[in-house]
Amino acid sequence: MIKQAVIMAGGLGSRLKDKTKDMPKGFLEINGEAIVERSVKKLFAHGVEEVIIGTGHCSEWYEALAKKYAGIRLTKNENYAETGSMGTLECCAPLVKDSFFLLESDLIYDDIGLFALINDERKNILLASGKTKSGDEVYIEQTADGSLLKLSKNRDDIKNPAGELVGISKLTKETLTEMVRFAEKHHKDQAKMEYETAMAHVSANLGSKHKIAIKKINHYAWREIDDENHLESAIHTVYPLIIENESLRQVRREVLLNPGPATTTDSIKYAQVCADICPRETEFGDVMEWVSKELSLMVGEKGTIETVLFGGSGTAADEVMMSSCIPDDAKTLIVDNGAYGKRLAKIASVYKLDYTVFKSSEYLPIDVESLKKELSSGNYTHLAMVYHETTTGLLNPVPEIGRFCHERGITTIIDAVSAFAAIPIDMNKDCIDFMASTSNKNIQGMAGVALVFCRKDALEKTKNYPMRNFYLNLWDQYTYFNKTHQTRFTPPVQALYTLRQAIIELKNETISGRYERYTKCWNILVQAVDDLGLKMLVPREHQSHLITAIIEPESKNYSFDTLHDLAREESFTIYPGKLSDANTFRIANIGDIQPEEMERFVIFLKNYMKENSICS
C-alpha cells in the first residue's frame, strides 16, 4: 500500500515554446483534460491518500488544481529556474512520510504501471519499458543482480540497455533521504542536477538497502511530453493505446437505483484486489485506525468523536446502539415513521428494553411540536430515531430534535445509515450522541462494515452498561481495539480496503459536492416524474434528494416486475416500495451515479410508460 506520491512539476518546459510560456507543461490537454490531472486521478484511484506536487513555473495553475482535490498538497521550488528536477524533489522531501510514488508531471501512462509497482515486493523499484523510439530516451544500465547502475540519454554510455526509464518509481523514505544528501553535496558543482542522477548514484553506491530494482514492461504504453513531436505522438498514437488498454480492465457498469448497496467506482472494486494479509498484522490495524479516524473527522471536531467498526450491515450498527447504549433503568422513545423506525422498535423489543413508540406518518413530515411535547413529559432518558427514512426518502429534522433533547438531558441514538456522507452532519452541533451507518450507501464502499459513531463523553458512560450482546457490544469492541490495534473478531478485510478507498474518493469529492451531484440526479428524475404525470409519495419540499418513492400508476398495463426486468436489461436496477398502505416503487440516486446516467434512465422510463399506454 502506497499512501503518498510526489509529482515533480517545477520545470519551465521550454522545448514546447509558446505552449508552455504561460502554463506548466503538466496542463497540456489531451481529450479535454490536463495530463497532470489525469495522473493525479489515477494515483487516487490506486489508493494514494496524498499527492505532493512540487511546483515552480506558473505555480498558480497547480494552486487552482489543489482547490479541486483535497488530497493534493503543494510545495514550491522558488529557485526552479536555476535548479533541475532534483531541486524540486528536495522541496518535496520533508513532506514524505514513508514509501511513495515518484513521477514526472509531463507523463501520460497506462495505470497498469502503478498496479505493477504496488504489487512488486521490492521496496525500491523503477518502471522501465521497451523501445519507444521517442527521440528523447533515457537508457538504463543494470548491475548483475538487476538493479539500477546508470542512466543516460546517450546510448553509447550504456553497455547493454535494460530498458528505457518511464519516469514512475516507488521509493522508500530512507532512499529519498540519501538522494537529498547526495544532491546537497553537489549544489555548487551540479546546481541543475536531475533526480535521475541522484537516484542512480544512491542505487549504485550505497548498498543493498538502497538498490533500486527495475520493473520492465516491454510493451508499456506511455509517453513523456517534452516537445511538439512528443505531443503529436502522445495524442495520435500513445493516448488511444492507453485508453484501449485501460478499457479492457473496466468492470461492466450496472447502475443501481436501489437504496443500497450503491453503485461503486471501478477503483472501489479493484481495492479488493490486493495481497492477502492476516488482519492481526500491524499494517492492517493501521488501515482500520486510519479509516476510523477519517470517518470521525467527517462528523465532528478532532478528538470529540470515536468511530467503532464492526463486521456487519447498517442494521448491525443499529443493534449495536440499541443493545449497548441504553442502561437498564432507561426509558426510550422510538420514533416510527417508516420501516427503519419500526426496525429500531423491533430490536428494542428483542432486548426487552423499556420503550414507547411515537408513531408518525410514513410520508408526511413529523409533527415536531407533538414530538417535543412527548419528550418534555419527563418520562424519557433516550430518543431513538432515523435521520433519513430509506423507505420513502423522507428527511427527519434530527438536528432540531437533537438539540431539544440535549437541553433536557436526553441521550440521542440516530440511524443515519442512508444520510451519512450525503447530508452534512456535525454530531456535536446536532446533539447526536450515537449514530449508525454502513460502508455501502452514500460513502460508496462495498457492503460489510457497520459504522457506529459516538460522542466520546457519551461513549464513556456505556462502560458500566449491561452486556446484552457479545459480538455487537460497543464498549468491548472500542476498548479492545484501543488496547490491541485489532478487532475482537475477524474483520471483513476486503470490505475495509474498499472503505479506505471510498474515504479517499469522498474526501476529494467532499460531502457537499457529493450531495450536489445527487441533487442533480434527483432533479432529472423529478422532472421526468412531472412530465409523465406521476406522483411522488413524499411532498418534494420534505424529500432528501437521495431516494424517491413514486406512486405506482393505476393502469392494468403497468407491472413493476416487468418494469424491473426491462430496466435490468438496460443495466438499471430499481426497487419496490416498502409501505403496507401505498403501492410505490423507489428510485435512489445515491452511489457513483452520474447525471448522464440518470438522463439515460428517465428516457428508458418514459419509453416504457408511453409505449405501454400507461402514461401519456
CATH numbers and ranges of domains, the chain: 4-127+165-206+223-248 (3.90.550.10), 267-509 (3.40.640.10), 513-611 (3.90.1150.10)
Backbone dihedral region of 404: left (phi > 0), alpha (psi from -120 to 50 degrees) or beta?
A: alpha
pTM of the model: 0.96
How far is residue 224's CA from residue 136's CA, in Å, rounded to a whole number? Answer: 9
Helix, strand, coil shares, percent, the chain, to 5: 40, 20, 40
The beta strands (E) that lie in 345-461 are given as 355-359, 382-386, 388-389, 394-395, 411-415, 434-438, 449-455
How far is residue 291's CA from residue 293's CA, in Å, rounded to a whole number? Answer: 6
Model confidence pLDDT, tens digit, residues 431-479 = 999 999 999 999 999 999 999 999 999 999 999 999 999 999 999 999 9
Q: How many other C-beta atoms are found inside a 10 Å radius of the C-beta of residue 182?
A: 20
581: helix, strand or coil = coil
Model confidence pLDDT, tens digit, residues 88-139 = 999 999 999 999 999 999 999 999 999 999 999 999 999 999 999 988 899 9
Task: Quote the DSSP letter at residue 235.
Answer: I
Q: Which helix (H) or strand (E) holds 199?
A: helix 195-205
Asked, as a colleague might, if the bond just before 261 is cis with ω within 30 of 0, I would say yes
How far is residue 189's CA from residue 274's CA, in Å, rounded to a whole number? Answer: 45
How far is residue 5's CA from residue 64's CA, in Å, rounded to a whole number? Answer: 19
Burial degree of 346 (CB within 10 A; 0-12, 13-18, 19+): middle
414: helix, strand or coil = strand
Q: Which residues pair with 104 in a beta bridge?
A: 8
Backbone angles phi, psi at 556, to 5 degrees: -65, -15
C-alpha cell at 128: 522501465
Give, in degrees to the nearest 5, the angle at Cα 500 between 1 and 2.
15
Instruction: From 225, 277, 253, 251, select the one nearest 108 (Cα to Cα).
Output: 225
How far is residue 192's CA from residue 188's CA, in Å, rounded to a whole number? Answer: 9
Is the separation of the CB atoms in 539 and 616 below 8 Å? no
161: helix, strand or coil = coil
How far is residue 22's CA from residue 61's CA, in Å, rounded to a whole number? Answer: 10
Instruction: Report how far apart, in Å, the C-alpha atoms of 143 and of each of 124, 131, 317 are.
Output: 15, 20, 55
Q: How many other C-beta atoms are found inside a 10 Å radius of the C-beta of residue 569?
A: 8
Is the separation of the CB atoms in 165 and 103 below 8 Å? no
How far is residue 44's CA from residue 38's CA, in Å, rounded to a whole number? Answer: 10
C-alpha cell at 36: 497532470
Instruction: Report how far apart, in Å, the C-alpha atoms of 22 and of each of 16, 25, 58 are.
Output: 11, 9, 7
Q: How many other C-beta atoms are found inside a 10 Å radius of the C-beta of residue 31?
A: 9
How far is residue 218's CA from residue 210's CA, in Å, rounded to a whole number? Answer: 25
Give Cα 269 to chain centroid, integer Å: 11
Q: Which residues pair with 30 in a beta bridge?
A: 33
Q: For position 13, what pLDDT does the model report? A: 76
Low-confidence spans in the chain with pLDDT less than 50:
none
How far is residue 582's CA from residue 462's CA, in Å, rounded to a whole number? Answer: 40
C-alpha cell at 593: 451515479
Instruction: Report how far apart, in Å, the C-alpha atoms of 104 and of each of 59, 225, 349 are.
Output: 15, 10, 61
Is the separation of the CB atoms in 321 and 434 below 8 Å? yes
How far is residue 573's CA from residue 563's CA, in Å, rounded to a whole number? Answer: 10
Q: For position 16, what pLDDT does the model report? A: 83
Give Cα 66 to chain centroid, integer Å: 17
How far is residue 409's CA from residue 516's CA, in Å, rounded to a whole number? Answer: 35
Is the separation of the CB atoms in 572 and 257 below 8 Å? yes
How far is residue 246's CA from residue 141's CA, in Å, rounded to a whole number? Answer: 30
